Amino acid sequence: MTDRVVVVVRAGPLTTVQDLGRPGRAHLGVPRSGALDAPAARWVNRLVGNAEGAAVLETTVGGCAVRPRRAVTVAVGGAPCAVRVDGRPVAWGAPVRVPAGAVLDIGRAVRGVRTYAAFAGGIAVEPVLGSRSTDLLSGLGPPVPADGTELPLGVPAGPPSVTGGVMPWAGPPAELVLRVRPGPRDDWFGPDGLRVLLSGGHRVAAASNRIGMRTEGPVLRRTRSEELPSEGMVLGAVQVPPDGRPVVFLADHPTTGGYPVVAVVDVRALPAAAQAVPGTPVRFVMAR
């Protein structure tokens, strides 16, 4: 029995294992998955000396707590939060040595939604189709950890970094600006469809999740009422369900769908979308 393990003490509202996902398999029906805020996941991995694609813990709003069986270097980044080891405050955004048996507590996010914890050696759960990511839609990858779950760690690859390079932004802006290009079905909404999308007044809905960022606000109305055969969906697709409120597809999105896509978001904006709290104003702008 190895002691290169971390035990989940408090799983929090939603904690998953994520790496950089399974890109390139959509034609086989395999979703992408992976860390929603990939720059933050890469950064905490650099801080502990891991390869950027090593598996980390992604927490959602409420954080989590774990206990390593042997001393391990950890870095916490993404959405800012309080970080404690056995109740003692330690640094966010820097390598921290956690002694064997101590409890690392990752607190509630004070800005943003998703916090990332990297462990030297990475989380070494068994990969599925080349990735250790948990996909909440398809069920691929490791199960969502519960209290008492034991997660194996790999062997550290290198020394911790002092800075890890340039720190990604530490939370969402007051307004989320998403650059888009017209989608393959923008004509299903007539000349007013894109105008309504770009007119402002949208907000991040509380029902958002790893599959998609839902919006509240202006409704896009179809001018065509027939059924749309299921077709391929891409990361960042802005799909419009029957209620008319756009949904921006994130990492766990389905590979096909039957609702029209009015626009597609530039994927470079999606890490910010992953950190946008409910109620954040959303402004769609046309890319040039």
- How high is the pLDDT of residue 157? 83
Confidence band (pLDDT; 50, 70, 90) for 173? confident
Domains delineated in the chain: 5-152 (no CATH), 176-286 (2.40.100.10)
- How high is the pLDDT of residue 91? 94
- How high is the pLDDT of residue 163? 60
Residues in CB range of 87: below 8 A, 6 or more apart: 103, 105
* Tens of pLDDT, residues 69-78: 999 999 999 9
Which region among 157-161, 192-196, 202-206 has the lowest average model confidence (pLDDT)? 157-161
- How does the average pLDDT of the chain come out, rounded? 94
Task: Tell me the mean pLDDT in the region 36-53.
Answer: 95
Q: 187, 245, 255: which is closest to 219 by C-alpha?
A: 245
Confidence band (pLDDT; 50, 70, 90) for 171? low
CB of 202 closer than 8 Å to CB of 246: yes
| Predicted TM-score of the model (pTM) | 0.94
Q: Is the pLDDT of residue 249 over 60?
A: yes
Q: Is the pLDDT of residue 30 over 80?
A: yes
Maximal CA-CA distance, the chain: 64
* Tens of pLDDT, residues 104-128: 999 999 999 999 999 999 999 999 9
CB of 263 closer than 8 Å to CB of 180: yes
- How high is the pLDDT of residue 1? 57
Q: Is the pLDDT of residue 169 over 70?
A: no
Confidence band (pLDDT; 50, 70, 90) for 80? very high
Which residues face 16 on adjacent strands? 58
Task: Tell me the mean pLDDT in the region 26-50.
Answer: 94
